[in-house]
Amino acid sequence: MTSTLPASRHTRAADQLRPVRITRHFTMHAEGSVLIEFGHTKVLCTASVEEKVPGHKKGSGEGWVTAEYGMLPRATHTRSDREAARGKQSGRTQEIQRLIGRSMRAVFDLKKLGERTIHLDCDVLQADGGTRTASITGAFVAAQDAVNKLIAAGKLTESPITQGVAAISVGMLGDLPLLDLEYTEDSTCDTDMNVVMTSAGHYVEVQGTAEGLPFTRDQMNALLALAEKGVRELIAMQQEALQS
């Protein structure tokens, strides 16, 4: 067991986020378009409003919020196959886009949204760990922009968004808990946990996985505390970005 800070942390503390940058209106067509950066990780999150709902919501008076996720082939250190060319999305891709979708729906009142769909597309331009947490954090900002446009256009009188949501990864390196894992840290940590929380400080999703040694209850507690700190900071940054 080691508790030495890894080399990757030379400029930040174990409990410190990477520099986060949130750029709204990154592309021009989407109702919400946000480039979010967690250090070197860059994800383009767009929100698209469609004035219809999928089959299982038709006639329900409720809307739907859904997400898709992708990585450009050379977002990663070595080129990975293009999923469109291979003809199917990997299990990992599907897992992530289902997580993003659930996280967004957790803060949406679908009745107030009305019979329309918000599609959130999270496309990773550059990957360095934490692409799913950056996606969730950025998608919320894009969704908020799209909702604001619907309100401004008189299509909604009241926001269907009930609260904020953001996500961060935490990991156990030996007995040292780390916040916001970079790629090299992610692949050396024994435990990797992704935590999605609301602005009220409640959990939407907690996904902890032992990549190496199984983790103890004490380690889990330490990781949850660290994650809470990270999410609180991200939620503040989202608000700041939305007000600028």
91 is an interface residue for its own copies by CB under 8 A? yes
Q: Are 31 and 149 in contact (CB under 8 A)?
A: yes
Do the strands 64-71 and 117-126 form a parallel or antiparallel pair, or are they unpaired?
parallel
CA proximity to 231, closest of 163, 148, 169: 169
Q: Which residues from 13-32 bind its own copies, rule CB under 8 A?
A: 27-30
Binding mask 42-61 for its own copies (x = CB under 8 A): x-x-x-x-x-----------
CB of 26 to its own copies, least distance (A): 8
Binding mask 119-158 for its own copies (x = CB under 8 A): x-x-x-xxx-------------------------------
Tell me the number of residues near its own copies by CB under 8 A.
Answer: 63
CB of 105 to its own copies, least distance (A): 10
- Pick between residue 5 and residue 26 the one whose CB is nearest to its own copies: 26
Is 116 one of the annotated binding-site residues?
no
Q: Could you tell me which residues come within 8 angstroms of residue 219 by beta carbon, excluding any fewer than 6 positions away?
A: 172, 175, 177, 191
214 is an interface residue for its own copies by CB under 8 A? yes
8 is an interface residue for its own copies by CB under 8 A? no
CB of 168 to its own copies, least distance (A): 15
Q: Could you tell me which residues come within 8 angstroms of residue 97 by beta carbon, excluding any fewer than 6 positions away?
A: 67, 68, 69, 89, 122
- Pick between residue 185 and residue 219 the one whose CB is nearest to its own copies: 219
82 is an interface residue for its own copies by CB under 8 A? yes
CA proximity to 14, closest of 194, 134, 176, 239: 176
76 is an interface residue for its own copies by CB under 8 A? yes
Q: Are 224 and 231 in contact (CB under 8 A)?
A: no
Strand order in the sheet with 32-38: 20-24, 32-38, 41-50, 117-126, 64-71
Q: Are 197 and 228 in contact (CB under 8 A)?
A: yes
77 is an interface residue for its own copies by CB under 8 A? yes
205 is an interface residue for its own copies by CB under 8 A? yes
Backbone angles phi and psi of 4, in degrees to 5: -75, 135
CB of 206 to its own copies, least distance (A): 4
Annotated binding site: 92, 130-132
